[in-house]
Amino acid sequence: MKRYTQRKLLFPLILSSCLALLGIGLPLSYADKAVDPCENCPFPKADEMLLKQISRGFSQVAKKAVPAVVYIESDTETKQQLPKRTKKGSSENPFDYFNDDFFNRFFGFPYDQEPKGKSGETVRGSGFFVKSDGYILTNYHVVENAAKIQVTLQNGVKTTATVVGTDPKTDLAVIRVEQKNQPILSFANSDQIEVGDWAIAVGNPFGLDASVTVGVISAKGRNQLHITDFEDFIQTDAAINPGNSGGPLLNIEGEVIGINTAIVSGSGGYMGIGFAIPSNMAKMVTEQLIKTGSVSRGFLGVTLQPIDPDLASFYKLDKVEGALVTEVIKGSPADAAGLKQEDIILKYNNVPVDNISSFRNNVSMMPAGNLLILQINRDGKLKELRVTIGSANDDENVANGLTIKKLGLEVQNLNDEISKKLNVGDEKGVVITKVQPGSPSQVAGLQPGGLIVAVNRKKINNIDEFNAALQESASNKEKRILLMIKQGQTVRFVTVNIE
């Protein structure tokens, strides 16, 4: 009897908290009574009324959101080939974070498996209207390689959509249908959400249209998940499944706080953890895609690593903070401003550098030409540097040379952290961080985590020497490049056809 009484005493407090989130006041007459005298009811009468009010709050969000959400079926044009992934911890690929078996895309296959991409097969997902004249926001992976995109509106009308623009780096895309005067959803400020806030997902899981699920924000700022290039994910326990991809994650006001993108799952289904692209990032990308069909990003030109307790002690920092500059790309805005290797970036525009991903994301959203004020620690002395933000196109031209266009891979210089993960000792070279699907490098069998130690029998030590070797090969009009690759403890030679 004691336990039941305690439950009844706590119940009004729990309801009060829920109703506060919904903007519903607790009736004074009920607040004065801690316990309802009805001993035989499942809930006291007043409790039942309050639960109905909570339910109506969610119903209002559903009524507002569902008409703006669409079901997307995308017929792929070509088979999308991804590099085969080894099991986590395999000696063939010591970069564990490239082999996470749990991340699933929402169109029905585990992230580490080959997606459905044969001609004639269908990828299914969700999206929602952001402009009344037919503009729809969804995930890039829902419409990637699409030969035909069919959109089903909530009134049952089926229509063909065209791609307005895509941004693979955030996994976002905008498509458009001819139907006008469509209901739209507006973006909330995702910086204002808090862990524990209500989260409402709307989409078409498994093709079941207009499905609404409710949960909470379970975490913010999730990054280094290696799902997309730019990551600042909202984590939620609202039930989302294959087919929800591209659908909205809403607050209790019915505003978009995120775009559902990925789930953690061992089976492909719901396991209580999903990730959504925050609305502030999505809004910036959406506006640019509608206006120009592409996204322009700010470019600084450095590679960074987080400050850990050991580094903080070595550099005699008062606390563990900031980001250590491991490389400054020649000719970049950072180089022009005088930033140097081993500088520690503490603040940017007076904002503390709490983690590298947030810093990188915020810089990327700055237009080219903007001024970035960096506060750095150099040899124990505080300095201020002024950097004029460049364009992300400069990033590809300066940092990667021919690597992306010709070979279809991305590389970076070795640092102490990567060398330890690869267990390469004093070996020099550049490490492969990404292989483009369907590229010459992917066809040749290159994988992330491989260390390129020589190009055309010439040893290389860094990106500059790697690019110089590629340029020499291009000037000689060579159709193939011979790479010496060290993967784990195995060394092998690979020829990449660049014709």
Which residues have a catalytic role annotated?
141, 171, 245
**Closest CA relative to residue 348, chosen from 336, 361, 335:** 361
CA distance 87 to 85: 7
**Closest CA relative to residue 430, chosen from 407, 448, 456:** 448
Under 8 Å between Cβ of 248 and 183: no
**Closest CA relative to residue 301, chosen from 323, 330, 344, 324:** 330
- Looking at the DSSP assignment, which residues form a beta bridge with residue 481? 496
**Closest CA relative to residue 105, chosen from 218, 264, 238:** 264
Distance from chain centroid for Cα 337: 30
Question: Using CA of residue 132, residue 135, residue 137, residue 143, what is the dihedral sign?
Answer: positive
The CA-based dihedral angle spanning residues 203, 209, 210, 215, taken in that order and rounded to the nearest 10 degrees = -50
**Closest CA relative to residue 432, chosen from 487, 489, 357:** 487
- The total of other beta-carbon atoms located within 10 Å of residue 428's CB is 16
CA distance 431 to 418: 8
Under 8 Å between Cβ of 214 and 252: no
**Closest CA relative to residue 75, chosen from 140, 108, 128, 119:** 119
Q: Any residues with CB less than 8 A from the CB of 89 and at least 6 apart, and which?
A: 96, 99
Tokens 């976002």 locate to 172
- Looking at the DSSP assignment, which residues form a beta bridge with residue 275? 235, 262
Under 8 Å between Cβ of 177 and 159: yes
CA distance 388 to 213: 45
Under 8 Å between Cβ of 301 and 191: no
